[in-house]
C-alpha cells in the first residue's frame, strides 16, 4: 500500500486535493478563491512526478512499482513526462480560469473540482497499461471535460458544443470499448503486455490436438483471430483518434472549443491531447508496434495512421484559413497540430519496434511526440491566455475584427498574443519551431521524405492564418462603431503569461536538453515490460 | 473443451428447467403483451429467472448484481417512464404492421444464426471453471486486492460525473438575474420555465373560486 501511494503520488495528490476542494467549496460562504489552490495542487503533482523521475530509472524501484501496480498502470518515465505535461497544462489553465470566471461571472467552485479530477483521469489514461484502466481514465477525463464545455449554462452555444461533444464522445467511447472487448475475446487478456504476447503466439488448441480435422480447425481459428484483431485495432484507434480530434473524427472540435469557456478550451486542447496521445503511444507502439514480427497482423496501422495524419494537417489548416473567429481558428489549428503529432507516430515503428528493444529512429520519433506535446501545451495555453486577456466582460475577443487595432490601443496584450501565435506557427527561437523540426527530422531519418514534405507545406499554410492575427492587430483599424475587445486588467493572467512565455523561450533556447529528457523517457519505457499474468496472486497485501 | 459445466445433481437440473422455462415465458410476455406495464412485469420475471440461473451456476455475485441492477434499477426506471408517459405510451397501432414484424423476425433469426454459428465454430480461451469462481468471496477479494487501483479510480469517475451533472444543472437556476455576456444566447435559455403562465393560472383559479363563493 505504501509503495502504491508513493509511485502513484501525482494522481494521489490530485485525488486528495480534489476531494478537499469539494469540501472547501461546500463550506465556504462565498464563491471563488479556489483557482490558486487548484493550480498549486497541479504544480505539486508536477513536482511529485519530477521527484519520481530518478526512481523510474532504478531497477529495484521499477520492480517494486510493478508489483504495487499489478499490471494496471505503468511506472516509467514516459508516464512521468506526460504527468508533468498534464499537470503543467492543468495548473496554467486553472490560473487563467481564476480571472476569467470572475470577470465573466461564472465563478463556481465545481469548475476547479472538475479540472482536478479530469487531470487525474488524464494521468490514469497516460499511464494505463490495461484496457480497463484505459477506459476508466478516458471516461473520467471525458465526463469532466463535457461538463466544463457546458459550464456556461446560459449560453446556447456552450450547450450545443457540450451536447455534440457528449453524444459523439459517448459513441467514440463505445467504439473503443467494442474494440477492447474484441481484443479480450481474441487473447483472453485485458493487460496490454498480455495482449501483445498472446498475439505474438500462434493459436494453439491442446484440447483437440490429435483429433480428426484439428489442424484445419486451428487454421480457421487463426484466420478468425487475425481478422478480428485488425477490426479491434481499428476500433481502438478510432476511439482514441476521436479524443485527439483528428480528421475524420474532428467534427465536435470547433463547436466544443468555441462554446466552452476559454480556459476550458485551453484545458481541452492541451491536457486531453497529451493524455490521449500518451495512450495511443502505449497501445499502438506497445501492443502493435512490432510491425514485422508474428504480431504483424495488425501491424498495418502506420498505413492507416498516415491518412489520419495527412488529412488532419490538410483539412485542419485549410478550414482554419476560412474562419472568422479566432477561437474557431485555434480549434482547427489544434486539429492540424494533432496531424503533425500523428505524423511522428507513423514514423515511430519503422525499423525496429519500441517494445522489442527499440530502434533509435523509432525512439527519436516517439520522443518527438512527447516533446511536441510539451511544446504544444505551453504555446497553446499562452495563446488562449492572451486571447482571454485581450477581452473583458461583454467585450470579448472572439473574432479577428474584435482584435483590429489592438496593437495600437494595448501594445502589451498584442505583443503577448503575437508571441504565442508565432510559437504555434513554428517560428524560431520559440519552441514551436523545434517541435516541428523534430517531427520532420525523424520522418526524413525513417525514410518518409514525402511525409516530411507534407508537414513543411502544411506549416507554411498555417503561417498564413497565424500571421493574419498579427496583421489584424497591428495593421488594421477597427471599423467605426464596431464592438472592440477591451483587455481586462488581471495581474494573475499577466503573471501566468509571463511564466508561460518564459517556458516557451526556455524550451526554444535549450531544445536539446528537453528533447534529451523526452528521449530518456521513451528509452526506458522501451525496456520490455514483463507481462503481469492476469491470474497473478494478490500482490502487495501489506 | 472447457465449457460451462452441465448441472451435476438432480436438484440443479430441476431448478434449471424451472427457471429456464420461467425466463422464456417472461421474455414472451415482454414482447407479446399489449399493455406496457404487463410487458415490464414480464421483463421483471425474465430478469429474476436469469438471476436464479446465475445462482444455480454458482455465480453468486453476478446473480445479486443482476437483481440489483436490472430488476432493482432498470425495470423500475422503465415503469417510471411508462407511468410518466401514461396513456401516450399505450399506442397499440405502432410497430404492429407486417413490415415491422417481418423486420423483427429477420433480426431475431439473424441473431440466432449468429449465436449458433459462434457456439459451433469459435472457441474462446475460457479458463476452466472452479468451484469458487464467481462467488462473493472471490469477487470481493479480487476487487479489493488485485483490482484495487481500477476500483478506486471508478470511484473518482462516479464523483466527477456527479459533480459535472451538478455543475450543469445548478447553473440553470442560479444567477438568472445576471445578464449574459454571450450575445448568441437566446432569451429562452436565460428564463425559467414560464413562471408567469403558472402564476396567471393560479390567480385565475383563485378568482373563479372566489366568484363561486
Question: How do residues A500-541 score in pLDDT, each as one tens digit?
Answer: 999 999 999 998 899 989 888 887 554 444 434 333 333 333
Give the cell for residue A273. Answer: 491531447
Query: Is A37 inside a domain boundary?
Result: yes
Q: Which residues of A touch B176 (CB under 8 A)?
A: 154
Q: What is residue A139's predicted lDDT score, i.e. its pLDDT?
A: 94
| Substitution target from B125, B153, B165, B171 for chain A, most A beta carbons within 10 A | B153
The closest CB to that of B181, out of A117, A139, A394, belongs to A394
Q: How confident is the model at residue B164 (pLDDT cuts 50, 70, 90)?
A: very high
- pLDDT tens digits, A329-353: 999 999 999 999 999 888 776 544 4
| Substitution target from A143, A224, A265, A392 for chain B, most B beta carbons within 10 A | A143
Q: Which residues of A touch B124 (CB under 8 A)?
A: 185, 188
Comparing A127-141, A225-239, A519-533, the range with the smallest average pLDDT is A519-533
A166 CA: distance to closest CA in chain B (Å): 12
Q: How confident is the model at residue A393 (pLDDT cuts 50, 70, 90)?
A: confident
Nearest to B60 by CA among B155, B162, B132: B132
Q: What is residue B71's predicted lDDT score, i.e. its pLDDT?
A: 87
| Substitution target from B3, B163, B176 for chain A, most A beta carbons within 10 A | B163
Q: How confident is the model at residue A23 (pLDDT cuts 50, 70, 90)?
A: very high
Query: Is A458 inside a domain boundary?
Result: yes
B2 CA: distance to closest CA in chain A (Å): 9
Residue recorded with cell 467549496: A25
How many CB pairs lie under 8 A apart between chains A and B? Answer: 131
Contact (CB<8Å) B1/A144: no
B58 CA: distance to closest CA in chain A (Å): 20
A134 CA: distance to closest CA in chain B (Å): 10
B86 CA: distance to closest CA in chain A (Å): 28
Neighbours of A467 (CB within 10 A): 15
Cα separation, A50 vs A242, in Å, equals 30
Question: Which uninterrupted H or E stretch holds B143?
Answer: none
A233 CA: distance to closest CA in chain B (Å): 19
Q: Residue B194 pLDDT more than 90?
A: no
Q: What is residue A199's predicted lDDT score, i.e. its pLDDT?
A: 82
**CA separation (Å) from B26 to A324, B43, B62, B106?**
59, 6, 20, 21
Q: What is the mean pLDDT of residues B97-124?
A: 82
Residue recorded with cell 486571447: A387
Q: Residue A383 pLDDT more than 90?
A: yes
Reported ipTM: 0.87
Q: Residue A292 pLDDT more than 70?
A: no
Full domain range(s) for residue A325: 2-526
Residue recorded with cell 504483424: A296
Q: How confident is the model at residue B124 (pLDDT cuts 50, 70, 90)?
A: low
Q: Which residues of B touch A136 (CB under 8 A)?
A: 150, 153-154, 157
Higher-confidence residue: B154 or B201? B154
Residue in chain B lying closest to A222 (CA): B122
Higher-confidence residue: A118 or A25? A118
Comparing A13-17, A179-183, B97-101, B180-184, the range with the smallest average pLDDT is B180-184
Nearest to A164 by CA among A57, A242, A94: A242
Give the DSSP letter string of A307-338: HHHHHHHHHHHHHHHT-SBHHHHHHHHHHHHH
Give the DSSP letter string of A70-118: TTSB--SHHHHHHHHHHHHHHHHHHHHHHHHHHHTT---THHHHHHHHH
Q: What is residue A262's predicted lDDT score, i.e. its pLDDT?
A: 92
Cβ neighbours for B147, distance < 8 A, ≥ 6 positions apart: A72
Q: Residue A229 pLDDT more than 50?
A: yes
Residue in chain A lying closest to B158 (CA): A140
Q: What is residue B94's predicted lDDT score, i.e. its pLDDT?
A: 57
Neighbours of A202 (CB within 10 A): 11
Q: How confident is the model at residue B171 (pLDDT cuts 50, 70, 90)?
A: low
Comparing A270-284, B26-40, B174-188, the range with the smallest average pLDDT is B174-188
Give the cell for residue A446. Answer: 525513417
Contact (CB<8Å) B145/A118: no
- pLDDT tens digits, A155-207: 888 999 999 999 999 999 999 999 999 999 888 889 988 888 888 787 777 76
- Residue B41: exposed, middle, or buried by beta-carbon count in 10 A (0-12, 13-18, 19+)? middle
Contact (CB<8Å) A154/B170: no
Q: What is the mean pLDDT of residues A354-382?
A: 79
User: DSSP assignment, residue B70?
Assistant: I
Q: How confident is the model at residue B146 (pLDDT cuts 50, 70, 90)?
A: confident
Q: Residue B187 pLDDT more than 80?
A: no
Q: Which residues of A touch B161 (CB under 8 A)?
A: 143
The closest CB to that of A110, out of B1, B124, B167, belongs to B167
Higher-confidence residue: A519 or A286? A519
Residue recorded with cell 493550480: A39
Q: What is the mean pLDDT of residues A249-259?
A: 91
Q: What is the mean pLDDT of residues B2-23?
A: 77
Q: What is the mean pLDDT of residues B35-59?
A: 90
Nearest to A347 by CA among A433, A450, A269, A258: A450
- Peptide bond connecting A248 to the previous residue in cis, omega within 30 degrees of 0: yes
Q: What is residue A226's predicted lDDT score, i.e. its pLDDT?
A: 82
Number of domains in chain A: 1
Q: What is residue A65's predicted lDDT score, i.e. its pLDDT?
A: 87
Contact (CB<8Å) A154/B180: yes
Cα separation, A354 vs B182, in Å, equals 49
Query: Distance between the two ends of chain B, CA-based, in angstroms?
Result: 84
**CA separation (Å) from A322 to A151, A244, A315, A474?**
28, 22, 11, 20
Query: Is A540 inside a domain boundary?
Result: no
Q: How confident is the model at residue A299 (pLDDT cuts 50, 70, 90)?
A: low
Beta partners for residue A395, in sequence order? A392
Q: What is the mean pLDDT of residues B50-72?
A: 88
| B contact set with A (CB within 8 A) | 1-2, 121-127, 141, 145-150, 153-154, 156-157, 159-161, 163-168, 170-172, 175-176, 178, 180-182, 184-186, 189-190
Specify which of A118-132, A289-303, A360-374 reaches the highest per-range mean pLDDT: A118-132
Cα separation, A90 vs A120, in Å, equals 10
The closest CB to that of B156, out of A105, A140, A162, belongs to A140
Q: What is the mean pLDDT of residues A283-287?
A: 81
Q: How confident is the model at residue B199 (pLDDT cuts 50, 70, 90)?
A: very low
Q: What is residue A453's predicted lDDT score, i.e. its pLDDT?
A: 93
Q: Residue B133 pLDDT more than 80?
A: no
What's the mean pLDDT when you consider all of chain B? 75
Q: How confident is the model at residue B96 (pLDDT cuts 50, 70, 90)?
A: low
**CA separation (Å) from A208 to A218, A224, B117?**
9, 18, 19
Residue in chain B lying closest to A392 (CA): B181
What's the mean pLDDT when you consider all of chain A? 86
Query: Distance between the two ends of chain A, CA-based, in angstroms?
Result: 6
A15 CA: distance to closest CA in chain B (Å): 8
The closest CB to that of A538, out of B123, B146, B150, belongs to B146
| Substitution target from A79, A154, A188 for chain B, most B beta carbons within 10 A | A154
- Does CATH place domain B1-89+105-134 in 3.40.50.300? no
Query: Is A92 inside a domain boundary?
Result: yes
Number of residues that make up chain A: 542
Contact (CB<8Å) B181/A104: yes
Q: What is residue A536's predicted lDDT score, i.e. its pLDDT?
A: 39
Contact yes or no for B79/B40 (Cβ under 8 A) = yes
Query: Is A251 inside a domain boundary?
Result: yes
Cα separation, A54 vs A140, in Å, equals 29
Comparing A68-82, A295-309, A494-508, B48-62, the range with the smallest average pLDDT is A295-309
B139 CA: distance to closest CA in chain A (Å): 12
Contact yes or no for A276/A284 (Cβ under 8 A) = no
Q: What is the mean pLDDT of residues A54-70?
A: 86
Q: Which residues of A touch B143 (CB under 8 A)?
A: none
- pLDDT tens digits, B67-95: 999 988 888 888 888 888 775 555 555 55
Question: Which uninterrupted H or E stretch holds A167?
Answer: helix A156-187
The count of C-alpha atoms lying within 13 angstroms of the C-alpha of A344, restricted to the half-sphere facing its C-beta, is 27
Q: What is residue B10's predicted lDDT score, i.e. its pLDDT?
A: 82
Amino acid at each position: 500500500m505504501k509503495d502504491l501511494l508513493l509511485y502513484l503520488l501525482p494522481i494521489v495528490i490530485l485525488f486528495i486535493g480534489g476531494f478537499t476542494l469539494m469540501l472547501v467549496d461546500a463550506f465556504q460562504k462565498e464563491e471563488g478563491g479556489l483557482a490558486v489552490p487548484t493550480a498549486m495542487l497541479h504544480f505539486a503533482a508536477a513536482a511529485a512526478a519530477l521527484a519520481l523521475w530518478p526512481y523510474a530509472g532504478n531497477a529495484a524501484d521499477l520492480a517494486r512499482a510493478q508489483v504495487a501496480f499489478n499490471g494496471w498502470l505503468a511506472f516509467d518515465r514516459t508516464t512521468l513526462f506526460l504527468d508533468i505535461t498534464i499537470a503543467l497544462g492543468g495548473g496554467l489553465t486553472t490560473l487563467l480560469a481564476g480571472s476569467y470566471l470572475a470577470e465573466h461571472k461564472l465563478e463556481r467552485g465545481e469548475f476547479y473540482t472538475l479540472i482536478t479530477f479530469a487531470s487525474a483521469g488524464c494521468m490514469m489514461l497516460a499511464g494505463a497499461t490495461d484496457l480497463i484502466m484505459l477506459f476508466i481514465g478516458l471516461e473520467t477525463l471525458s465526463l469532466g471535460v463535457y461538463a466544463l464545455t457546458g459550464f456556461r449554462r446560459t449560453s446556447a452555444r456552450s450547450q450545443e458544443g457540450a451536447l455534440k461533444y457528449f453524444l459523439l464522445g459517448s459513441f467514440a467511447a463505445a467504439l473503443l470499448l467494442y474494440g477492447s472487448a474484441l481484443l479480450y475475446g481474441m487473447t483472453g487478456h485485458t493487460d496490454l503486455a498480455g495482449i501483445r504476447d498472446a498475439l505474438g503466439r500462434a493459436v494453439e488448441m491442446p484440447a483437440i490436438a490429435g483429433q480428426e480435422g484439428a489442424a484445419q480447425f486451428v487454421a480457421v481459428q487463426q484466420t478468425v483471430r487475425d481478422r478480428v484483431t485488425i477490426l479491434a485495432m481499428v476500433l481502438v484507434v478510432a476511439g482514441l483518434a476521436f479524443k485527439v480530434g483528428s480528421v475524420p473524427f474532428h467534427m465536435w472540435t470547433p463547436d466544443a472549443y468555441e462554446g466552452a469557456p476559454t480556459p476550458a478550451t485551453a484545458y481541452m486542447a492541451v491536457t486531453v491531447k497529451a493524455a490521449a496521445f500518451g495512450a495511443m503511444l502505449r497501445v499502438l507502439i506497445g501492443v502493435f508496434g512490432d510491425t514485422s514480427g508474428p504480431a504483424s497482423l495488425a501491424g498495418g496501422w502506420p498505413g492507416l495512421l498516415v491518412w489520419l495524419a495527412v488529412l488532419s494537417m490538410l483539412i485542419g489548416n485549410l478550414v482554419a484559413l476560412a474562419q472568422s473567429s479566432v477561437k474557431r481558428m485555434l480549434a482547427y489549428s489544434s486539429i492540424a497540430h494533432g496531424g503533425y503529432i500523428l505524423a511522428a507516430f507513423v514514423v515511430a515503428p519503422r525499423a525496429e519496434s519500441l517494445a522489442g528493444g527499440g530502434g533509435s529512429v523509432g525512439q527519436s520519433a516517439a520522443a518527438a511526440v512527447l516533446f511536441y506535446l510539451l511544446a504544444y501545451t505551453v504555446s497553446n495555453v499562452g495563446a488562449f491566455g492572451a486571447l482571454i486577456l485581450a477581452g473583458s466582460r461583454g467585450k470579448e475577443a472572439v473574432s479577428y475584427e474584435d482584435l483590429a487595432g489592438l496593437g495600437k490601443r494595448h501594445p502589451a496584450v498584442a505583443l503577448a498574443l503575437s508571441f504565442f501565435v508565432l510559437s504555434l506557427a513554428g517560428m524560431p527561437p520559440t519552441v514551436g519551431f523545434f517541435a516541428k523540426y523534430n517531427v520532420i527530422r525523424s520522418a526524413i531519418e525513417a525514410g518518409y521524405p514525402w511525409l516530411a514534405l507534407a508537414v513543411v507545406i502544411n506549416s507554411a499554410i498555417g503561417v498564413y492564418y497565424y500571421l493574419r492575427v498579427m496583421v489584424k492587430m497591428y495593421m488594421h483599424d477597427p471599423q467605426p462603431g464596431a464592438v472592440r475587445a477591451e483587455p481586462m486588467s488581471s495581474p494573475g493572467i499577466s503573471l501566468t503569461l509571463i511564466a508561460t512565455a518564459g517556458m516557451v523561450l526556455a524550451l526554444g533556447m535549450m531544445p536539446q536538453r528537453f528533447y534529451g529528457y523526452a528521449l530518456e523517457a521513451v528509452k526506458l519505457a522501451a525496456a520490455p515490460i514483463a507481462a503481469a499474468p492476469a491470474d497473478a496472486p494478490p500482490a502487495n497485501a501489506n | 473443451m472447457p465449457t460451462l459445466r452441465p448441472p451435476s445433481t438432480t436438484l440443479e437440473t430441476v431448478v434449471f428447467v424451472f427457471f429456464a422455462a420461467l425466463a422464456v415465458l417472461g421474455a414472451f410476455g415482454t414482447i407479446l403483451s399489449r399493455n406496457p406495464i404487463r410487458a415490464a412485469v414480464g421483463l421483471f420475471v425474465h430478469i429474476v429467472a436469469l438471476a436464479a440461473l446465475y445462482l444455480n451456476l454458482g455465480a453468486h455475485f453476478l446473480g445479486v448484481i443482476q437483481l440489483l441492477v436490472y430488476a432493482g434499477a432498470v425495470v423500475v426506471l422503465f415503469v417510471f417512464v411508462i407511468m410518466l408517459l401514461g396513456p401516450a405510451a399505450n399506442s397499440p397501432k405502432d410497430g404492429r404492421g407486417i413490415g415491422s414484424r417481418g423486420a423483427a423476425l429477420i433480426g431475431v433469426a439473424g441473431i440466432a444464426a449468429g449465436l449458433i454459428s459462434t457456439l459451433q465454430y469459435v472457441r474462446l480461451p475460457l479458463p476452466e471453471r472452479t468451484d469458487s469462481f464467481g462467488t462473493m468471496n472471490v469477487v470481493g477479494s479480487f476487487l479489493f486486492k488485485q483490482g484495487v487501483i481500477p476500483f478506486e479510480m471508478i470511484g473518482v469517475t462516479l464523483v466527477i460525473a456527479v459533480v459535472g451533472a451538478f455543475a450543469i444543472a445548478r447553473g440553470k437556476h442560479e444567477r438568472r438575474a445576471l445578464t449574459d455576456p454571450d450575445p448568441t444566447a437566446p432569451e429562452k435559455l436565460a428564463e425559467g420555465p414560464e413562471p408567469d403562465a403558472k402564476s396567471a393560472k393560479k390567480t385565475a383559479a383563485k378568482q373563479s373560486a372566489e366568484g363561486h363563493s
